[in-house]
Amino acid sequence: MDKQNLPIPLTKTPGAMPAWRSTVSALELHSVCAKIKDDGGRMVALWGTDERERGDGFAVHVALANQFGLICMKLSISESSPEYPSIDDLFPVASRMQRALYDLLGVRAQGASDQRPWLRHGAWPTEVFPLRKEVDVNADYPAGKDDYPYVQVTGSGVHEIAVGPVHAGIIEPGHFRFSVVGERVLRLEERLGFKHKGIEKLAEGMSISEAARLAGRVSGDSTVAYAWAYAMAVEGVAGFTPGLRSLMLRALMLERERIANHLGDLGYLGNDVALAFGFSQFWRLKEEWLRTQHDLFGHRYLMDCIIPGGVGCDLDAVGLSRLHAEADVVEQQVRNLQDIYHEHAGVQDRFLTTGRVSPSLAAQMGLAGLAGRASAQALDLRAQFPAAPYDQLEVNIVTQRNGDVAARVMVRFDEIYESLRLIRLILAKLPDGATMQELPPVPDNSFGIGWVEGWRGEVLIALHTGIGGAIHRLHPHDPSWQNWPLLEHAIIGNIVPDFPLINKSFNLSYSGQDL
């Protein structure tokens, strides 16, 4: 790839998405990251592997996206000195990923601005690193002391409000530490990792087919995106391309998942500004939507419908016309409700200018996905790197510039309409053919990438195969890693009672980032 103009040799990674890999030195890692950043690229993910049984110490992997696709760099690190140069000076979003990498693999980012633990609270001792191969997944460590040093804000009249991990609603657990003066928030510090349940370590003991179920449960609300990304990674490694019918059905399910989540969020955003009417209306639509999925695909949230090799469900003529009719009804209903939200003075008063992330801050911090698009970041894998079947669908990227709650609401409305258009197009174009084909065995010691634009943002699956169809390492990356730090910025200067609304407007995954 000469046009890439990068000073490192690149090898194309086989698979549906444009991705390259390269082995770099410690110096090159930082300088290539800097170059990609200067050229307008962004950071996607960072993870580590234990390569000692292959005679190669540890390795740190960094995935960046530029205008051509994904660049995956691998830096080998010796066991005796497990360190690598921090890149959080270039990409602030790297900070938490680097801290998590230390907690799990014991590989430290040299020069990082923050060396506190991230995913390790007290479940395992400081000298144990679960992703090292000698650590038993079932090890039972006595609960350790958890003494996390939060950043303290001092000054006249400043006090702290500590919230969580158990929140006052039906929400995932995490801790929020607000420093406030009166009602106004000076600073928010998040602490996550409460849900860490060892997903990456579990995957290492699984076969390729077993791990498909696990991938679909990294973040339940994005099960389709994860299952597709996982299947894409496996199929890439195996050198297999699924038939067009199964790919179309995958896209159909991905768009349906997007709409289901957007409907739910729009309902809760109404609820959070005291318009219970909005909750009832949107969740009524969502519930019908889920029932259709149960009837036609066998699962309300489409779990386990996408598997490596194709899809585990099919659509007949009756189902096809039901989906068509449903799309028309939902479009009409959502347009009515958008009118009502738009004209409701109380709703608009709460939505507008609340929780703002400016386009420049979004670009600097790497705000991803839906929230990024609401802050003028025109990034959407379905449009930028349209893998089949999106190459036939011409996805329109939805963007807003204001970066406030209102903008994130508008993006959700417009993405529902765009996804409904895509669903109609898919139903019209759906070709005949097999939905499931036998997958060739995956080669030993290979590397595959799955990269899918889920409803929240880009989901990445990095798959390192071991020997005889086993998994050496599986790393799922949720876009919430990118967006949680921006929530800390979005709340600054807002009042405490607006936090639930702002939080909901991002609706980030805890499970997806706690792993």
Region from 6-14, 140-148, 234-242, 467-475 binding another protein, contact rule CB under 8 A: 140-148
CA distances from 280 to 69, 270, 455, 501 (A): 41, 9, 22, 17
Which one of 84, 176, 447, 510 is in contact with another protein (CB under 8 A)?
A: 510
**Is 162 a residue that touches another protein (CB under 8 A)?**
no
**Is 281 a residue that touches another protein (CB under 8 A)?**
yes
Least distance in angstroms from the C-beta of 220 to another protein: 3
Which one of 38, 127, 134, 143 is in contact with another protein (CB under 8 A)?
A: 143
How much is the CA Rg of the chain, to the nearest whole Å?
22
Which one of 79, 189, 190, 287 is in contact with another protein (CB under 8 A)?
A: 287
Q: What is the DSSP letter of 81?
A: S
State which residue, 451 or 510, has the beta carbon closest to another protein. 510
Least distance in angstroms from the C-beta of 165 to another protein: 5
Looking from the CA of 337 toward its CB, the CA atoms found within 13 Å total 29
Closest CA to 416 of 334, 348, 328, 329: 334
Region from 16-24, 229-237, 275-283, 378-386 binding another protein, contact rule CB under 8 A: 275-283
229 neighbors 250 (Cβ within 8 angstroms): no
Region from 230-238, 367-375, 443-451, 504-512 binding another protein, contact rule CB under 8 A: 504-512
**Is 148 a residue that touches another protein (CB under 8 A)?**
no
Give me the sheet containing 42-50, strands edge to edge: 11-12, 19-24, 70-77, 58-65, 42-50
Which one of 26, 34, 153, 171 is in contact with another protein (CB under 8 A)?
A: 171
State which residue, 214 or 449, has the beta carbon closest to another protein. 214
Residue carrying the six token digits 């998405």: 17
Which one of 133, 284, 324, 335 is in contact with another protein (CB under 8 A)?
A: 284
Three-class DSSP labels, 167-194: CCCCCCCCEEEEEEECCEEEEEEEECCC
Which one of 80, 147, 156, 168 is in contact with another protein (CB under 8 A)?
A: 168
The size of the interface with another protein (CB under 8 A), counted in residues, is 65
Q: What is the DSSP letter of 495?
A: B
Which one of 375, 399, 400, 509 is in contact with another protein (CB under 8 A)?
A: 509
Q: Which two tokens stand for residue 274?
A: 């005291």
Cβ neighbours of residue 104 under 8 Å, at least 6 residues apart? Answer: 48, 119, 120, 129, 130, 131, 200
The C-alpha torsion from 90 through 95 and 97 to 99, rounded to 10°, is: 140
8 neighbors 32 (Cβ within 8 angstroms): yes
Residues 334-353 that bind another protein (CB under 8 A): 336-337, 339-340, 343-344
CA distance 152 to 441: 54
76 neighbors 129 (Cβ within 8 angstroms): no
State which residue, 226 or 385, has the beta carbon closest to another protein. 226
State which residue, 217 or 421, has the beta carbon closest to another protein. 217
State which residue, 265 or 414, has the beta carbon closest to another protein. 265
**Binding characters for another protein, 92-131, by CB under 8 A (x = yes):** -----------------------------xxxx---x-x-
**Is 221 a residue that touches another protein (CB under 8 A)?**
yes
CA distance 420 to 373: 19
CA distance 374 to 263: 17
Region from 58-66, 213-221, 355-363, 407-415 binding another protein, contact rule CB under 8 A: 213-221
State which residue, 38 or 136, has the beta carbon closest to another protein. 136
**Is 150 a residue that touches another protein (CB under 8 A)?**
no
State which residue, 290 or 490, has the beta carbon closest to another protein. 290
Region from 18-26, 180-188, 297-305, 445-453 binding another protein, contact rule CB under 8 A: 297-305
Host H or E run for residue 416: helix 405-429
Give me the sheet containing 458-465, strands edge to edge: 447-453, 458-465, 471-477
Closest CA to 32 of 77, 60, 73: 73
> Where along the sequence are the contacts to another protein (CB under 8 A)?
121-124, 128, 130, 135-141, 143, 165-166, 168-173, 193-199, 201-202, 213-214, 217-221, 223, 264, 277, 279-281, 283-284, 286-287, 290-291, 294-295, 300-301, 303, 336-337, 339-340, 343-344, 509-511, 514
